[in-house]
């Protein structure tokens, strides 16, 4: 007897299988003849591991227009606006906005998020708020918090001390932003400092690294060296890395092997990177996405991140990681069937690996979290960004949506139309 069986779904690898769940674990995958307390019929539909977002800013989510709109659309104006908002927002404001976003996320099958939390202000209200959100959503959504010194580790007198305070309060990951320090030298020193901090505490390390159009912003080189020096490997992630878009190919031919040698991972954020970068260009206008395919070819694990939804930096967003992957495959020109399938893995399995979620997947013993999508396979899911027919988190059905075919009133044509072409 199973608590739940998801029957007849198509898995991302092409197999058709039933998934048997007891408690919060998957206990059988294959042909299951047994009964269950509940059965979800997924015949013809894609059954996937849950979506994972390894890069987000939940303290700012759903604050678009506060205290005003980012008129220039630039990264720097967004940072300036956030600098005002973070001292106006209360803990209650941030908790309410974040929980609303988490509801969206669950409805879209997004069940694990790593969010950066600004540690710049001495009041650390953002840290307090996100720790409370993490506690509330823990039964159904895995939330990792990054101690992120938005204004730089050394640019404010208490910047470094506040990172340490946040980690002592229970924040999970060490952050950083070397290109926002006063000088290149201080940026490099901040990386050495933060790497030691992560190594000594046994924590993961996730750095906003070279989020700029300046090809001479090369902090990722220092980061890779420190990852190797401290043996951090896949515990370390370089986020954004947009300056690599503008670097000359000879230097990149040296840089990418250093990144691969270190074992660190990379997190580009296509929706936000192509929106914020290139704002100082006329034409040709750079789009700012890092060198995704080249790093993957070298063996670097690369995952797509959402970064922002309705906040000072980005005026759109729906918590749909398939939107992120869809944009990413276009900008990175990953249109071969194998590359499109890889883009789907980037927002599921690869992002789970970046976050260290060892029990993510659809195998025996994995956490019983999954999504049933109104699509036949991963490529079709990217094309359609379809409805999530059912979302299961830790063995519990947490969201459902009825199949929503369009109805036609056309002479001689079908009464219903679906945009699916496979399965």
Q: What is the largest CA-CA distance in the chain?
A: 73
The Cα-based distances of 51 to 78, 98, 167, 373, 417 in angstroms read 27, 18, 26, 12, 27
Contact (CB, 8 A) for 287 and 274: yes
* Chain centre distance of CA 173: 15
Give the span between the Cα atoms of 122 and 298, in whole angstroms: 41
Both structure tokens of 309:
């939804």
* 186 annotated active-site: no
Contact (CB, 8 A) for 392 and 419: no
Contact (CB, 8 A) for 73 and 275: yes
Question: Of 404, 397, 390, 396, nearest to 42 (Cα)?
Answer: 390
Give the span between the Cα atoms of 300 and 309, in whole angstroms: 27
Give the span between the Cα atoms of 322 and 344, in whole angstroms: 8
Question: Of 244, 185, 246, 182, nearest to 209 (Cα)?
Answer: 244
Give the span between the Cα atoms of 190 and 247, in whole angstroms: 22
**3-state secondary structure at position 349:** helix
| Residue pointed to by tokens 């679906």 | 418
Catalytic member of 77, 211, 226, 380: 211
Parallel, antiparallel, or unpaired for β 2-10 and 51-56? unpaired
Give the span between the Cα atoms of 301 and 366, in whole angstroms: 21
Based on the number of CB atoms within 10 Å of its own CB, is 298 exposed (0-12), middle (13-18) or buried (19 or more)? middle
| Residue pointed to by tokens 């980037």 | 346
- Positions annotated as catalytic residues are 211
């Amino acid at each position: 007897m199973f608590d739940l069986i998801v029957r007849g779904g198509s898995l991302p690898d092409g197999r058709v299988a039933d998934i048997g769940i007891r408690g919060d674990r998957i206990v059988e995958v294959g042909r299951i003849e047994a009964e269950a307390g509940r059965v979800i019929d997924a015949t013809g539909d894609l059954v996937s591991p849950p979506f994972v977002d390894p890069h987000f800013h939940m303290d700012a989510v759903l604050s678009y227009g506060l205290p005003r709109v980012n008129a220039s659309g630039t990264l720097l104006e967004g940072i300036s606006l956030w600098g005002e908002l973070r001292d106006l927002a209360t803990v209650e404001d941030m908790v309410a906005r974040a929980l609303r976003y988490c509801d969206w996320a669950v409805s879209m099958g997004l069940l694990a998020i790593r969010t950066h939390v600004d540690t710049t202000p001495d009041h650390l209200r953002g840290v307090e708020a996100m720790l409370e959100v993490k506690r509330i959503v823990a039964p159904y959504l895995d939330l990792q918090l990054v101690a992120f010194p938005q204004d730089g580790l050394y640019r404010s007198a208490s910047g470094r001390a506040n990172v340490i305070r946040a980690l002592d309060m229970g924040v999970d990951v060490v952050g950083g932003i070397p290109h926002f320090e006063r000088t290149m030298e201080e940026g490099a020193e901040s990386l050495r400092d933060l790497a030691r901090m992560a190594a000594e505490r046994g924590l993961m390390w996730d750095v906003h690294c070279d989020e700029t159009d300046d090809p001479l912003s090369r902090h990722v080189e220092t980061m890779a060296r420190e990852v190797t020096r401290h043996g951090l490997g896949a515990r370390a992630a370089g986020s954004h890395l947009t300056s690599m878009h503008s670097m000359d190919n000879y230097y990149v031919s040296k840089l990418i092997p250093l990144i691969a040698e270190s074992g660190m991972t990379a997190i580009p954020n296509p929706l936000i990177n192509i929106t914020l970068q290139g704002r100082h260009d006329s034409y040709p206008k750079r789009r700012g996405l890092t060198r995704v395919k080249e790093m993957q070819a070298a063996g670097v694990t690369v995952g797509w991140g959402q970064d922002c939804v309705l906040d000072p930096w980005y005026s759109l967003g729906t918590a749909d990681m398939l939107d992120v992957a869809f944009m990413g495959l276009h900008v990175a020109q990953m249109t071969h069937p194998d590359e499109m399938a890889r883009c789907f893995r980037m927002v599921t399995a690869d992002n789970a690996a970046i976050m260290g979620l060892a029990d993510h997947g659809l195998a025996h013993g994995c956490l019983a979290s999954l999504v049933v999508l109104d699509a036949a396979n991963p490529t079709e899911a990217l094309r359609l960004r379809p409805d999530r027919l059912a979302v299961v988190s830790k063995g519990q059905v947490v969201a459902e949506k009825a199949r929503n075919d369009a109805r036609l009133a056309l002479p001689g044509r079908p009464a219903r139309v679906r945009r699916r072409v496979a399965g």
